[in-house]
Amino acid sequence: MIRKACVSGMFYESNPDFLKEDIEDMFGEIPDNTMDGNIIAGIVPHAGYVYSGKTACYTFNEIKKGEIPDTFIIIGPNHTGRGTKIDVCDFDKWETPLGLVDVDDEFIRELLNEDSNVYIDNSAHVNEHSIEVEIPLIQYICESHDFKIVPIVISQQIPQLCEQLARSLDNVIKKLNRNCIIIASTDLNHYENQDTTLYLDEKIIKSVESMDMKQMVKDIIDYDITMCGYGPVITATCYSRLHDAESSIVLKHSTSGDVSGDYDSVVGYMSAIITK
């Protein structure tokens, strides 16, 4: 069973040649700096490529320079309201204009056995964009490598559930001896002016760089920061701590206003890597 692309032609080009050209252009604009350490996890935005694609490429460009993992665990928030607490899928493959990507079904079976908060519910995935938009970028950097994906949608972004998910992922990875990288998909503050968004996003950036998830959640509550994927970030960070992460580096921050020129109502975007 194939999960068809749902935002192709809207968030990114539906024509494979045009899509590849767009992706090449975005990667071509990124400074060629190499960060130290092995990448455990990445944090990327999930808006349309015209707005956040280049920012996302900062993370994927660093991943491209290292060892390509067997499996990308892509964790996104739920924008559709469908599904349960935390949902995987039983699609065999995901389709994008660049081709089909295999789902790591063995990993998913083990994760379901490991974590009672994780369910199979395809309805959480069929119209969700937060995972899909990352896949063409992964296909691009893995052009000559085989890889699989584990798509996970978090609906109930409760810190304790996310921490448990991180432990469960760690247990499955060790059991299967998989080489994996976790990709946390999130945008930052939504639909306030540029100055307010820069102020609020900076609080998230500081917490990400210090890997202080308690402070991040506190700031989200205290300042009403409309970061849509804090659950995936908590999961990725907690997982990284289990692997003795030494550094969390924010590579790029931008807003939709940087592209549109409309600074009255913007969305913030961040690209980061966690290394050891």
pLDDT tens profile 223-252: 999 999 999 999 999 999 999 998 899 999
In whole angstroms, what separates CA 74 from the centre of its chain? 6
Q: Report the pLDDT value the prediction gives residue 36, as an integer from 0 to 100.
A: 80
Domain ranges for the chain, please list them.
2-275
Residues 6+ away with beta carbon under 8 Å from 35: 62, 249, 251, 273, 275
126 Cβ neighbours under 8 A, 6+ residues apart:
3, 4, 6
Q: What are phi and psi of 138, to 5 degrees?
A: -70, -40
The arrangement of secondary structure in 2-275, i.e. its CATH architecture, is 3-Layer(aba) Sandwich (3.40)
**Antiparallel, parallel or unpaired: β 71-77 and 180-185:** parallel
What is the arithmetic mean of pLDDT over 132-149?
A: 97
Report, as an integer, the average pLDDT of 161-187: 98
The whole-number pLDDT of residue 53 equals: 98
State residue 56's pLDDT score: 99
Model's pTM, two decimal places?
0.97
Using pLDDT thresholds of 50, 70 and 90, give the confidence band for residue 108.
very high
88-99: pLDDT as tens digits: 999 999 999 999
